[in-house]
Amino acid sequence: MSRRVVEMKSKIDNSKLYKTKEAIELLKELKKTKFDESVEVHINLTIDPKQSSQTVRGACVLPHGTGKTPRVCVITKGEKLKEAQQSAADYCGSEELIEKISKGWTEFDVLVTTPDMMKDIAKLGKLLGPKGLMPNPKTGTVTNEITKVVNEIKKGRVEFRNDEYGIIHCAVGKLSFDTQKLIENIYTLIDTIIKLKPAQTKGEYIKSIYISTTMGPGIKIDPNEFLKRR
């Protein structure tokens, strides 16, 4: 670890479960970098990640956004293409755009498509899948509501999915955000994840929650703060 990280970790009480507000204020106090770091939340779930029925995957619109505006690409045809062209999407197209992507072009952050295009989009699975860009109905990126979804993405819609260890990692804003705005973004994310608890997961669902900045160590938050809200 760098000297900076060691110094930061020395100011965190690892035996303590912090409240969200307290943890955010500590992150702000520990800030050492010159750039505006992202604030990330890491939620360790008690699911069995090897079981597809226990995968936790979804999306939510953070009330205060993420601090950056994602580039949205829409692939559709007919009347829906006209709608996409009138939306806030950065790129729109049909077969010609699929061809362009198949040759390696991926200068976008989110890909939205309509159900009738999925059989063609499926051909791009090996390219888009590893990059996390494959559209999926569970995250709302396979839809006929093009304008609505594009607007949500631009406003701060985030997608999440547990990794192979059953942990969800998600950015919830910038460190420069007002503390209350970060709290509201975090509550929105975790409330959504709680609602998606798989039926097969009995008893305890959230094992632990950590909050950190892009370059900093994690601070452990008390999961009960969120469970008591329900």
CA distance to 2, 77, 103, 111, per residue, from 118 (Å):
46, 12, 18, 12
Is the pLDDT reported for residue 4 higher than 80? no
Each residue of 8-61: pLDDT tens digit?
777 888 899 999 999 999 999 888 778 899 999 999 999 999 999 999 999 999
Residues 6+ apart with CB under 8 A from 143: 112, 114, 115, 137, 149
Rounded average pLDDT over 94-110: 96
Topology of the domain comprising 13-66+157-227 = Ribulose 1,5 Bisphosphate Carboxylase/Oxygenase (3.30.190)
Rounded average pLDDT over 127-133: 93
DSSP H or E segment with residue 165? none
pLDDT of residue 228: 73
Is the pLDDT reported for residue 1 higher than 60? no
Residues 6+ apart with CB under 8 A from 126: none
pLDDT of residue 70: 93
Please give the CATH number for the structural domain made up of 72-154: 3.40.50.790
Largest CA distance in the chain: 59
Instruction: Using alpha carbons, select from 82, 69, 98 the residue that is nearest to residue 147.
Output: 82
| Per-residue confidence band for 111, with pLDDT thresholds at 50, 70 and 90 | very high
pTM, to two decimals: 0.83
Each residue of 194-203: pLDDT tens digit?
999 999 888 8
> Locate tokens 């303590």: which residue?
16
Each residue of 184-193: pLDDT tens digit?
999 999 999 9
Rounded average pLDDT over 171-189: 96
Averaged pLDDT of the chain: 92
Q: Is residue 41 within 8 Å of residue 186, measured between CB atoms? A: yes
Is the pLDDT reported for residue 211 higher than 90? yes
* Domain boundaries defined on the chain: 13-66+157-227, 72-154
Topology agreement, domain 13-66+157-227 and domain 72-154: no
Is the pLDDT reported for residue 135 higher than 70? yes
Residues 6+ apart with CB under 8 A from 22: none
Helix (H, G, I), strand (E, B) or coil at 58: strand
139 vs 58: CA distance, rounded Å: 5
| Per-residue confidence band for 216, with pLDDT thresholds at 50, 70 and 90 | confident
Is the pLDDT reported for residue 230 higher than 70? no
pLDDT of residue 11: 83
Is the pLDDT reported for residue 74 higher than 90? yes
pLDDT of residue 32: 74
pLDDT of residue 33: 74
